[in-house]
Structure 1
Amino acid sequence: MTKIKITAKIEKNGESFLFYVNIFNISEETLKLNLSNNTGGLARETIHLYDKNKNRLNKGVSYMTPINNVTSLTSIETGKSTQVILKTKLEEIENDLFLEFKGANFNVKKDETYYFQIEYLGTKSDMIPFNID
């Protein structure tokens, strides 16, 4: 049975955010996981954002980015981890502000606190707070 632990941290970089997601293998065997976000699928399927009251936000436009090689398996040995970095940017479109991940986006507001959570293989990270300035 696949057992993992997920942690995340967030770093603001100008008008962008970097979401550092660590996947720890706590299974008894080496895991082979597709952790690539080349097509936006990882972000689209695993990322959840919550508002300041911890109500889940709906994803905006979901889209796929075409790419030739969609298979990108990552091996994680027992007791080891790997890191995925999900990059975002804030984009304003017709007076609405969006936090844009490759694969999905979320409508956000300035001066608000949001919570990031990633869910993968039935395991969820903690809810990590961050502010949109």
Structure 2
Amino acid sequence: MQTTPRKTTAVGINHVALEVGDVDEALAFYGELFNFKLRGRKDKMAFIDLGDQYLALSEGRSQDPDTKRHFGLVVDDREAMRPLVQRLGCRILPSPFPSGLDFLDPWGNHIQVVEYASVQFTKSPEVLAGMGLPELRKEEQALNELKDKGVA
């Protein structure tokens, strides 16, 4: 008798990799947008620490700018990031959210900025404390969405 293999469960995202033209320029650019710790570098890659996850920057862009495909970057204060994005001359894209912030970085990566308080994404208190963010709170709607999924 043949048995069907058990499906695995996706637990989360370890990292997102972005193609950039130059790793040093990308580190300088992202350093203008937000505080970060460099997790490490190897060859033509750099790794920006996001607590228990990371953003990988890989040198060598191989495609045109992304206007639909994107990733959501969770920040503690989205509105504080808006003037920085504008000052750096990034192309602002229409956002599907009224107070959303979508933009292209200099290498054409579409970034959708979301605020920790308003989304289901969570970090454990220990990870937040390790990031120097022990006071982050969730809005009621995000808490209700988490509760509906059985996450208290």
Pick 1 or 2: higher relative contact order, CA cutoff 8 A, min separation 6: 1
Of Structure 1 and Structure 2, which has the larger fraction of its residues in helix? 2
Of Structure 1 and Structure 2, which has the larger fraction of its residues in strand? 1
Larger Rg belongs to: 2
**For this structure pair, what is the TM-score category when the shorter chain's length is used for normalisation?**
under 0.3
| TM-score where L is the length of structure 2 | 0.25
